[in-house]
Chain A
């Protein structure tokens, strides 16, 4: 058999799951969709003593619309559900547009939102999208609950704010701001593979059609989702067009991201890709923001 031996628990209630995680501490691992954890078990790179399967916790699999126009997404919502859900499409268009880039259809049928964020792969799309959307994450344990902003949640390579004994249960997205456009762009060797470079962009316009605020968040550009705050800030107050996009894209790609060499692409090639993708993403987000203002 591929994985090393472990005990398996599939609690039917959240309290039971938290109790198990508290009892086993570091020796236990939550099992969500298994699309990152089971490969690690098969390679014996992870050897937990106990797996706590979350698949029976149906309360964690819901998509709810909040009164303020935002969304509350359970950690166990499958990636395929996010891709198809109408509320996600209208209230979080960036998330909706990004989903087809996350792995392959069979993987999205099992893989979850919470598992993807908890795994915190720097090449993964969803951590970058969570930061771009100002998501807040609810983390619970037998001791109580806390909310963590996406920016504070990703603390390093494959590392998050989740401590042993804790569980990510919910992701809250604020309502989308007005006069805003969103875009996601990436380049991968094959559609659905982890990308060489990718960027989530937001552009918000003011009443006069100038840029009121903008955001650029990259994947595959450091130890986790990487923001280019200066490049995005340089757009504020500007009449947006090719020259401003180009300057911001160069600054972000050369100064604010830290891609590394790997067997498929060198760091300098990834910086080149990031600049091209940034120009495209800013142009698309701006076009969509203008279309929203016009409508």
Chain B
């Protein structure tokens, strides 16, 4: 039997402690221990991108990280972006451009795009498609996701629609 470990991380600014087995994935820790079910799990082997969260500000697959590896680190999930009353500009753009249908992929896509747009605030359509290459969406056909991203980028740059 393996020895459970005590871990403490900051999730969306909130300190969260847990006693976990080393084999617990960060995705399962977030969903089951921290009750943050906005992080979705599709494939659990790194292919779909639904589980993408920020680890110290960088987009990572939470299904390919152990919860113990995030001990002492800062994690941001989609719940940390905006609230239903005050959406993040990128969330607002997804709503306005109809950038989602079932929404299963959306959390992971938003968490991929937030650091991307910080590094590349005025991307071309091609750059957006490359940035999204690691996220699968089975509903939209991607076009509205790309449009929403370009709209969100304009909003984040402070340009009026």
Residues of chain A at the chain B interface (Cβ within 8 Å): 1-8, 10, 34-35, 38-39, 41-43, 51, 53, 55, 80, 100, 103-107, 109-110, 190-192
Contacts and interface: CB of A to CB of B under 8 A. Distances in A.
Nearest to A188: B133
Interface of B: 1-3, 5, 21-25, 28, 44-46, 49, 52, 55, 58-61, 63-66, 68-69, 112, 116, 129-131, 133-135
A105 B116 CA distance: 9
A256 B133 CA distance: 32
B61 A107 contact: yes
A106 B59 contact: yes
Contacts of B22: 5-8, 51
B60 A109 contact: yes
Given A5-B2, A6-B22, A38 B65 contact: yes
Nearest to B46: A39
A20 B49 CA distance: 33
Contact of B44 (A4, A5, A7, A42): A42
B86 to A, nearest CB: 26
Task: Describe B's contact surface by its main secondary structure.
Answer: mixed
Contact of B49 (A5, A7, A104): A104
Contact of A192 (B25, B55, B112, B133): B133
Contacts of A4: 23
A106 B134 contact: yes
Nearest to B2: A5
Contacts of A100: 130
A191 B64 contact: no
A43 B45 CA distance: 8
B2 A105 contact: no
